[in-house]
C-alpha cells in the first residue's frame, strides 16, 4: 500500500478556523490539535482568562490564536460576533467552523425551569445554526469550507436525566444532516462528531455513576484527533466513545433499543439509575439558588 493512500485529502495548515467554546474542556483540546497543524484558530469563549491561556498555547504549538470574549448564548448578538471577527482579521475568510460550545444541565425533567431549557437550546443548537447561517455564504462564494458540529451520542438515543441536552444534540445532528444534503452539490462539507461523556469535564467524572456508564467515557484528546481527521478526510459522522469494545456495545445497545424496545427499558433500569436519581435530587436540594453548579457542565 503506497504512502499516498495515507495522506489526508485536505490540509489544515494555514486554514482559518472559528472554534466556539474554545477555552476549556474539549474545545481546548481541539484548539491544541489544530495548532499542531499550524492553523489560525479564532477562539470564542466567555472566559478572558481562558482565552488568553489557550491562545498562548496555540501560538507556542505553531498555530496562531485569536481570542474573542463573547457569550454564545446571546444568539441575537451573533452578527456582532461576526463583525468583530472581520475587524480583528481584516476579512471574513473562514475555512472551517467548529460549533463546539455547549452546556449540560443534568437533572430530572420536571426539575428544569423554562430558563434552563432556553439556555441549553440556545447554546447547544440555536447558536450553532445562527453562526453557520452567517458563515456559510462566504464559504459558498469561494466554493470551499467545512462546518463541524460537536454533537453527542445523547443526541442519537437520549441520556438519562439529561433530556434537554439530548434534545438539543438530536436537533443538531438532524439539522447538520439536512444541511449536508442541501450542500451536496457544493464543495462545502458538513460533519458531526458524536462523543460520549468527556472525561476531562463530564458530569460522570464527579459522580458515583456506575462502572457501566463510566466505561464509555470519551477521551478528549481522541475527540480532538477525530475532529481533525474529519476535516482532513471529509468525514461525515464520527462516533468516539471509550475503546473498541464499548463502541460496539453502544452500537448493539442502540440496535436492540430500536428493534426490541423492552430490552432498552430493562437495560436502563439495570444501569444504576436509582443511584443517579439520588445524586440529581441531592445536588438540587443542596443549592437551589446557585443554578445547581454541581450538575451543570459548560464548554462555552
Q: Which residues are catalytic?
A: 165
The Cα 61–Cα 14 span in angstroms is 14
CA 108-113-115 angle, 5° bins: 135
Q: Which three cell numbers stand for residue 213?
A: 456508564
The Cα 45–Cα 27 span in angstroms is: 10
Could you give the CA distance from residue 208 to residue 225 in angstroms, rounded to a whole number? 29
**Measured CA angle at 216 (ends 212, 220), to 5 deg:** 145
Bridge partners for 297 per DSSP: 104
264: helix, strand or coil: helix
Cα separation, 213 vs 196, in Å, equals 10
Sheet (strand 96-99) strand order: 64-69, 40-45, 16-20, 96-99, 145-150, 188-195, 237-240
Cα atoms found within 13 Å of the Cα of residue 203, Cβ hemisphere only: 24
CA gap 292, 144 in Å, rounded = 43
Q: Which residues pair with 98 in a beta bridge?
A: 19, 148
Q: What is the DSSP string of 211-262?
A: HHHHTTPBPHHHHHHHHHHHHHHT-SEEEE-SSHHHHHHHHHHHHHHHH-HH
Amino acid at each position: 500500500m503506497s504512502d499516498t493512500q495515507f495522506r489526508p485529502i485536505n490540509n489544515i495548515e494555514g486554514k482559518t478556523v472559528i472554534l466556539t467554546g474554545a477555552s476549556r474542556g474539549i474545545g481546548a483540546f481541539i484548539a491544541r490539535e489544530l495548532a499542531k497543524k499550524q492553523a489560525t484558530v479564532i477562539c470564542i469563549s466567555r472566559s478572558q482568562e481562558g482565552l488568553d491561556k489557550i491562545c498562548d498555547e496555540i501560538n507556542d504549538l505553531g498555530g496562531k490564536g485569536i481570542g474573542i470574549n463573547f457569550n454564545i448564548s446571546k444568539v441575537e448578538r451573533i452578527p456582532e460576533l461576526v463583525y468583530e471577527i472581520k475587524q480583528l482579521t481584516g476579512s471574513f475568510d473562514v475555512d472551517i467552523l467548529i460549533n463546539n460550545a455547549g452546556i449540560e444541565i443534568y437533572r430530572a425533567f420536571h426539575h428544569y425551569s423554562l430558563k434552563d431549557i432556553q439556555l441549553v437550546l440556545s447554546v447547544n443548537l440555536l447558536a450553532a445554526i445562527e453562526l453557520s447561517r452567517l458563515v456559510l455564504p462566504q464559504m459558498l462564494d469561494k466554493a470551499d469550507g467545512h462546518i463541524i458540529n460537536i454533537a453527542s451520542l445523547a443526541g442519537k438515543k437520549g441520556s438519562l436525566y439529561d433530556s434537554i441536552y439530548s434534545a438539543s444534540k438530536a436537533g443538531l445532528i438532524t439539522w447538520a444532516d439536512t444541511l449536508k444534503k442541501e450542500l451536496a452539490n457544493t464543495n462545502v462539507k458538513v460533519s458531526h462528531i458524536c462523543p460520549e461523556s468527556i472525561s476531562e469535564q463530564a458530569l460522570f467524572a464527579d459522580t458515583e455513576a456506575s462502572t457501566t456508564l463510566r466505561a464509555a467515557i470519551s477521551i478528549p484528546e481522541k475527540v480532538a484527533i477525530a475532529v481533525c481527521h474529519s476535516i482532513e478526510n471529509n468525514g461525515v459522522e464520527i462516533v468516539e466513545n471509550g475503546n473498541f469494545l464499548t463502541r460496539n456495545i453502544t452500537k448493539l445497545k442502540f440496535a436492540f433499543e430500536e428493534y426490541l424496545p423492552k430490552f432498552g427499558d430493562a437495560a436502563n433500569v439495570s444501569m444504576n439509575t436509582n443511584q443517579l436519581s439520588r445524586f440529581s435530587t441531592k445536588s438540587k436540594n443542596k443549592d437551589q439558588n446557585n443554578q445547581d453548579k454541581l450538575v451543570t457542565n459548560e464548554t462555552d
